[in-house]
Amino acid sequence: MREGRQVLASTPQDIAQFLDDFRRMVVQAYFHRRENRDRIEYVLMEVLDNAHEHGNRSLSDCCITIAWRLGPAGLYVSVQDEGEGFSERWSDAAAPHWSTRGRGVVSIREYADQVRYNGKGNKVTVSFKREENMAEITIIEGRVCIIKAEAGGPVKEIIEALKNALVEVGDDAANRGGGLDTSLFVDLTPLNIINSSLIGLMGSLIMNENIQLLCLCGLQPMVRDLLKRFGLSTEDGRAPAGATPEIQANFGKILICDTIAEGLARLSP
């Protein structure tokens, strides 16, 4: 899970800078379809403009608090201003087309997957579902994590989604501290090829002290060959010749299986 929190000065300049940074660091990194990127950017612009203009009355000495979280279900962003709140007057009926008020609230509901306001009306949380071709993450009893590359869509997009999921799991394991017994299963069945950056990311995961097992499943011939060429897999299961002591110490974490079920069956009870 990736998350962040930021307090902005209620100014158009600070809002513009946040939107630009968030677009590059989160939206473009985790959402690959243009229509999804556009609607996320639009909704965030609307809720931030509302917080500044209507909540904080355009007063630059006020603040806007933003918190966001990207998890297995999708992206959640909450925006809170210092205003007195408002009545959600256009929640059930569309605002008149000629109205200068209420249109933003209606359009936010149209483009976000879910919209929630707090009781006071000065905090809104908008959410967006993960894209269908983003990697699926399943966690079992806190110690087994299964990541499946979703079939369909361009190979490059599937690889990027898989990388994002692996980064999310790796960060989560690191943030929770030591003493964990996390077994990570990665199903690569839909992929006929992978790239060097994904292989490098897998290599870094086995160095994570909180990852006790990295099981790679459903390897297509080219993927299997690439893993061998990059030293992440060998015929005898031993670390490749010339590997550093650190790699040698962690290489035993890697397990190659045909299916997730086979890998799970080999876990110690």
Residue ranges per structural domain of the chain: 2-129, 136-265
Average pLDDT over residues 62-87: 90
Which CATH superfamily hosts domain 2-129? Histidine kinase-like ATPase, C-terminal domain (3.30.565.10)
How crowded is the C-beta side of 259, counted as CA atoms within 13 Å? 3
Angle between helices 12-22 and 34-50 in degrees, nearest 10: 160
Please state which architecture CATH assigns to domain 136-265.
2-Layer Sandwich (3.30)
Structure confidence at residue 141 as a pLDDT band (50, 70, 90) = low
Average pLDDT over residues 116-127: 92
What pLDDT shows up at residue 33? 81
pLDDT tens per residue, range 4-33: 999 999 999 999 999 999 998 888 877 878
Q: Which residues contact 163 (CB under 8 A, 6 or more apart)?
A: 197, 198, 201
Q: How far apart are CA 6 and CA 63, in angstroms?
A: 10
Q: Identify which has the larger pLDDT, 56 or 132.
A: 56
Q: Mean pLDDT across the chain, nearest whole number?
A: 84
pLDDT tens per residue, range 160-216: 888 888 887 777 666 655 444 688 999 999 999 999 999 999 999 888 888 889 999
